[in-house]
Amino acid sequence: MLENDWVYVNGARMRVAELEFLTHQLQLEYSRELDARRGVVNRLIGWLDQH
Question: Which tens digit of pLDDT belongs to each residue from 16-29?
Answer: 999 999 999 999 99
Across the chain, mean pLDDT equals: 93
- pLDDT bin (cut points 50, 70, 90) of residue 1 is low
Give the structural domain span for 19: 3-50
Cβ contacts of 40 within 8 Å, gap of 6 or more: none
| pTM for the predicted model, two decimal places | 0.69
Cβ contacts of 8 within 8 Å, gap of 6 or more: 2
| pLDDT for position 51 | 86
Counting the structural domains of the chain, the total is 1
- Asked if residue 46 has pLDDT above 90, the reply is yes
